[in-house]
Each structure stands twice: as C-alpha cells, then as structure tokens.
Structure 1
C-alpha cells in the first residue's frame, strides 16, 4: 500500500528542525543535546527496524499477542510503516554521541488519515489489530464532528531504551502540534493503547474522544481479547487535539 506524499506550503524548508533542547543532567555532569526534525529517507530503514524489533514488543496489544514472534505480522508491518514514512510527515528526535556521530533517539510515524480510507491487511495478526482499531475509531465520526476531510494520525511513538527518562516522548508529541499546523491540519487523533503513552498525551494537550476498557472490548468480539493486558493498561483510548 502506498500513500501520497503530503505537499508542504510554498517556501517551507524540508527537512525542518522544529525544536532544539537539552536532556537531563547525566552522571558526568553533562547534558545531551537533542533536536526534532522531519524524518527523512536516510532514516527510513533504521526506523522501521526499530518499530519491528522494539515497538511491537512494547505496545500492549502487540506484546500480549506476541506479534513480535509472528514473521507474517512483522513483514506486513514493515511494509505499512515504510509506506507511512514515505508521506514525509513523520518526526524524528536526533542527538550526537561523544564522537560526534548523529544518533536516533526516538520518532513518531504519522499518517494523513482521510475520510472513507480503507487499509487492508493480509496477515491474521495485523487484521486483528486493524479490526479493533477500526471498531474503536468508528464509535464516533471525527470527520463529521470536526468538519474536516483529513487529520494527522499517529502510527507509533517510540523512544529507544537508552534514551528513556529524558522526556523525549513528551517533546515529540508537543512538536506534532507545530508540524500539524504547518501542514494545514485542523486536528490530530491517535489510538493510545498504553497507560504510559496516554499520560504523555494528556500532558501534550490531547483529550479523550473514545474510551473503551479492554475488558469490555473482550466482550464485543473474541478477536478483541488480549490475555493479561489489563495488568499493563486498563483502557483503549482514541484521543484528539484540535489546532
């Protein structure tokens, strides 16, 4: 599946650096310097690898379904994420190591969701994931309620383990507002499936749109049952922000 590259306003730079900031004080008394910019093609393969080898292990629904152990699932998500990145509206957080080499610290894959869009899957695991995503999102019609024809949708926020504890996820979410406004989006919606990402979303200004507990979802459809997930997170939340 291929999605169209989103056109930027005339004269806008690409890649654009949206934020530059310092992390927390390290043991050696120094602070890492970070910056958040457009996620460009040179990082696509490394980012997709990070999603399939890291994000799918951390994200609750994937973790409790062991999607990271399913070759067909991994192959299909690889294709999906590569297609989303080619829209060229995703964000990446970068830093430099002690030798001056640029390192990836985190990223947020983003997609321009449009009315009547249909994303189809082939593997059973991805079909199950999209099925629950569609069910929750279909509880309310954001296009009609907000009078929009597209919105900025998050397809995974991931911070590499060695850079966690620096608040990078929060800054990346904050930066999404700058990107959305630049590209002319009026709203951003995202399914937040983890209690950790839900807290970050609230701090960034996102509001609840549709909330359904995983216990209630399991009563709706057998495919919506994720054994043990409530030990991690109680609710599935579709959240929104208007620009």
Structure 2
C-alpha cells in the first residue's frame, strides 16, 4: 500500500506567524526593530527569490565559490528550485516594518523531502549548479535518513539568509527555531539540512541539531581535483533533529 504524500493540513492557517521577537541592537534611526517569522505567501514568493539571489548566492560558501549567480542556466535552475519549495507552504520569512510596509529581513527556504522520491534524480544543466547539487548529494548519501529516523518525509532547506542590514539581530536562530514551531503544527517530525557555513553550523548546534555526516572541503574531490577552493569554513555538515524533541 502506497503511503500518501504529506501535504500541509487545511486546519493550519496559511499564512501563520510562528515567532515574534525584538532585535538585539538599534538601527541607524536609534530604534531596536521588532521582527516576526511567518510562512512565505504567494505575494512574497518572488521577493524571497530576489533576496536569495542577491544575498544567499553571494554569501553561501558553495554557491559563491562556483559563482552560481554568474551562470544564467544555474541561476534559473536554483531560482526554479526555490519556487517549487515555496509552493509546499513550509518556507519561512522574517519580516520587519519599514517606511513603506513589511521588509524582508531574512528567510529560510524550507521544503519537504519524500521517501517515495528517493532514487529519483533531477538533471541540472548549469555547471555551477551541478557542482553544488553533487556536493549536497555526496554528503547526504552517507546516511539513510528515512531508515534512521523511521519517517516517510522530513523538512529540509536550501538556503538560510539574513539581509546584511539586519545581521546581528538574532534572526538566523529565530528562523531555525520557527521550523520547529511550524513542523509541530503541520505534522512534520524531523528536519535535516546540510549546513555549509560556520555561522549556520553554530546556530544549528545551539538548537541541538546532531551531526549525521561531515565532509571536509579540502577532501571533497571530483576527477581528482578539489571542487571548492580556498574555503573559509573547513567542512559541510549534514545535521538533523526530531522536531518533537525541541524544548523551547
């Protein structure tokens, strides 16, 4: 008997606000901003994609190293992937009030991975995108998450990003914590992500995610060559936590 694919329950309002919090320092206007984390709605989807294109692709170790943003094919492919993930209605955005309405302070493009899709390969045409996906698949192949945790689906992510003007306000960790608020509400029991930068790895450790696999960048080779050169972060880490075990 085929297990039905997870979908967001109609009983969980969309959009929902999952967290509200005060920032940690004043901005140029002398005021400490307030933020809230909510679901990414259809009207925010393209703004989130634009944010990820401008900031995440520039700052994230893998995508910046192989210059995904500079390759038109790879850029279209990763933007398309983000849009598909947002359609699953579990992506998160941190907002604050600006002069002309809400402003995106950060986002976490989260989505759902299904056991029934295991083994299905998506083909990418852009060279940089191929390099990034190959690295993520390489580390993920170290652990059968579905078997280890006894789940048919889990929440994953392809990008945690904070707008530079709002860094240092605690937005990154609140976005990660919001995963668990959302997950508990919609019936997802596990979150698994490959964290590629030191900053996000530290945040994941702080909320109790365990390391399932770790791959050093200097030891990750393709055709005998180091793929990601001159990396500031030593390694990428595949990390996970059962959602119901989070103590807030």
The TM-score with structure 1 as length reference comes to 0.91
- Structure 1, 66-75 or 205-214: larger mean CA deviation: 66-75
Once the two structures are TM-superposed, the CA of residue 118 in structure 1 deviates from its matched residue by 3.2
Is the 8 Å Cα contact of residues 37 and 91 (structure 1) preserved in structure 2?
yes
Q: Which runs of 5+ in 2 are unaligned?
A: 244-248
Please give the per-residue CA displacement for 1:184-215, whole angstroms capped at 9, x wherever unaligned: 11110000011111011111221111011112
In structure 2, the residue matched to 1:158 is 161
The counterpart of 1:200, out of the listed 191, 203, 220, is: 203
Aligned with 1:24: secondary structure?
coil
In structure 1, the residue matched to 2:34 is 33
In structure 1, the residue matched to 2:125 is 122
In structure 1, the residue matched to 2:148 is 145
Please give the per-residue CA displacement for 1:10-47, whole angstroms capped at 9, x wherever unaligned: 43211111111111231655221111111101111111
Is the 8 Å Cα contact of residues 62 and 196 (structure 2) preserved in structure 1?
yes
Is the 8 Å Cα contact of residues 6 and 87 (structure 1) preserved in structure 2?
no
In structure 1, the residue matched to 2:24 is 24
Once the two structures are TM-superposed, the CA of residue 119 in structure 1 deviates from its matched residue by 3.0
Q: Which runs of 5+ in 1 are unaligned?
A: none
Hey, what's the Cα distance between the residues in 2 that align with 1:223 and 1:187? 35
Is the 8 Å Cα contact of residues 6 and 88 (structure 1) preserved in structure 2?
no
Is the 8 Å Cα contact of residues 214 and 236 (structure 1) preserved in structure 2?
yes
Number of residue pairs aligned between Structure 1 and Structure 2: 235
Once the two structures are TM-superposed, the CA of residue 56 in structure 1 deviates from its matched residue by 0.8
Hey, what's the Cα distance between the residues in 2 that align with 1:104 and 1:58? 17
RMSD across aligned positions (CA): 1.8
Cα pair distance change 1:161/1:21, threshold 3 Å: same
In structure 2, the residue matched to 1:59 is 60
2:210 counterpart of 1:187: no
Aligned with 2:88: secondary structure?
coil
Hey, what's the Cα distance between the residues in 1 that align with 2:139 and 2:212? 10
Once the two structures are TM-superposed, the CA of residue 7 in structure 1 deviates from its matched residue by 2.9
In structure 1, the residue matched to 2:89 is 88
Hey, what's the Cα distance between the residues in 1 that align with 2:34 and 2:236? 34
